[in-house]
Structure 1
């Protein structure tokens, strides 16, 4: 708030008017060796972010990234990660989780990614995702979906041809990673 006095002096006071502040939290959990450590690292990130926010409520979208053998499990159990973070948020106080997203890379071809699933992953990455027929089918599906969306939502597929291609490429990559994570999860149980 700015106050101008009769003597022309100016007083500036900061007044918070927002009840909630929306923030993104990027957490590199490459170093997490198990589920407990992963949850701890994300929780620490939430606590740090909360300490910087002056609004009464923090609404955050968490983006987990890195290279970690837990990548398949995190993709498979993303709902559990969100539930855990919602619990941590209530403990921290007035922290609300909008969404938890991932962008993972699995290290090497050893461990759970070896064998038939590793081979399937290589085929998908090397042959399927880059094939012309697959790309044409992907564009066809995306254009059909975009045509059925209300006009104000059509930009989720990009605002020009280059962004359209990038976004559907990301969707294809994320979708194949999701399927492989679920297959890998079924193999582990």
Structure 2
């Protein structure tokens, strides 16, 4: 084996966990601490694998937080690496650019934080020449490509590029230093260590391009397995990419099929069974689930009315397990044409279904703007951090609200 390094990004230390904090302070505390615990595990991985370097491709911090406690934590973790002779190479992403701490923090000399202009560090790992190229965001927004600012590859060295990028203007993400995959592959670099997109993506080839994804999810929008990448380079120059799962907490949507269930007790039991099964199938330490009730059932109206009761039932099971948490109950049920309410309530339901209201309607947008302006700055991302995320959140909220109102009208006899 020639040499090894760990590639990670988007750790988001001190993430404010907006939606979780509003619903459950305990959940917010668990996940808030999980970002630090996962970073410690990343350092542990570097030490146990005896790697030559740790690469962090942006968004080590989450934004303008000024927590000196977290700053000290980061310095201590970097000292652990320095004590074993393992350097770290870091670039600032769109979130780091807004962080005062990331600019003021004193880190060990073994940590290289690239400036806002492209730079290259030539070094030697296990007797092999290596060139690490990188550039940090100067500002929170970088709408233009940064790729043309990189220097050419160093001849005779293994060339690594560090870049925080939305990579081809990925759907659901604002354009942050966008570039095309083909442009990365044409640079002549051996490995591109990317960051910004929270889903893992690997593009092998003469120039290997890796987006490791977020190592620790922070809410249900970041459900599923999260990872970092352990890269091993053999003496012949071939690469081995090992996906390592180090998250302390995992989020999962939990489908609960409710079709043909017409008895409330049976529905509650189906929810409890799915909750217990989720934990049995999960090998990690903590699991946060969002049960999603699917299917066609005459109980849909009651579920809309009594979702809080179902949440309490599921939470009771979670508390018995101890390492399982309930995010919230998501209702995606249909009453079926033959069980829709009649009378005025039924007519109102049909009007709502036929008319709808797009999330970008002027009346909706005006209310959203008014809400966001009155929220504290740390909560303004509650509906998402992009136009697409905000539209999806508004649509879900309107649909859920309409169901709850109609359910209560039905309960009162229309």
Q: Which of the five TM-score ranges fits, normalised by the shorter chain?
A: 0.7 to 0.9
| Structure 1 alignment gaps of length 5 or more | 5-13
Question: Match of 1:24?
Answer: 253
Task: Decide which moves more: 46-55 or 165-174.
Answer: 165-174
Question: Match of 2:374?
Answer: 148
* Aligned 8 A contact 2:268 2:310 in 1: yes
- How far, CA to CA, are the matches of 1:78 and 1:141 in structure 2? 25
**How has the CA–CA distance of structure 1 residues 16 and 126 changed in structure 2, closer, same or farther, with 3 Å as cutoff?**
closer
CA-CA distance at 1:160 after TM superposition: 3.9
Q: 2:349 aligns with which of 100, 110, 121?
A: 121
Question: Match of 2:294?
Answer: 65
Task: Decide which moves more: 117-126 or 90-99.
Answer: 90-99
Q: What is the TM-score normalised by the length of structure 2?
A: 0.37
- Structure 2 residue 265 is the aligned partner of structure 1 residue 39: no
| Structure 2 alignment gaps of length 5 or more | 1-44, 51-243
Count of aligned positions: 174
* Aligned 8 A contact 1:112 1:184 in 2: no
Q: 1:136 aligns with which of 351, 355, 362?
A: 362
CA-CA distance at 1:124 after TM superposition: 2.1
* Aligned 8 A contact 2:314 2:326 in 1: yes
- Structure 2 residue 339 is the aligned partner of structure 1 residue 111: yes
CA-CA distance at 1:81 after TM superposition: 0.5
Q: Which structure shows the higher helix fraction? A: 1
- How far, CA to CA, are the matches of 1:16 and 1:167 in structure 2? 29
- How far, CA to CA, are the matches of 1:93 and 1:168 in structure 2? 33
Q: What is the TM-score normalised by the length of structure 1?
A: 0.74
- How far, CA to CA, are the matches of 2:406 and 2:353 in structure 1? 11
Aligned residue for 2:330, secondary structure, equals strand
Structural mapping, 1:65-104, within 5 Å: 65-92=294-321, 94-104=323-333
- How far, CA to CA, are the matches of 1:48 and 1:174 in structure 2? 26
Aligned residue for 2:270, secondary structure, equals helix
**How has the CA–CA distance of structure 1 residues 87 and 140 changed in structure 2, closer, same or farther, with 3 Å as cutoff?**
same
Aligned residue for 1:62, secondary structure, equals strand
Aligned-pair Cα RMSD in Å:
3.1
* Aligned 8 A contact 2:276 2:317 in 1: no
CA-CA distance at 1:16 after TM superposition: 7.9
Tell which has more relative contact order, 1 or 2 (C-alpha 8 A, sep 6+).
1
- How far, CA to CA, are the matches of 2:349 and 2:247 in structure 1? 50
* Aligned 8 A contact 1:16 1:55 in 2: no
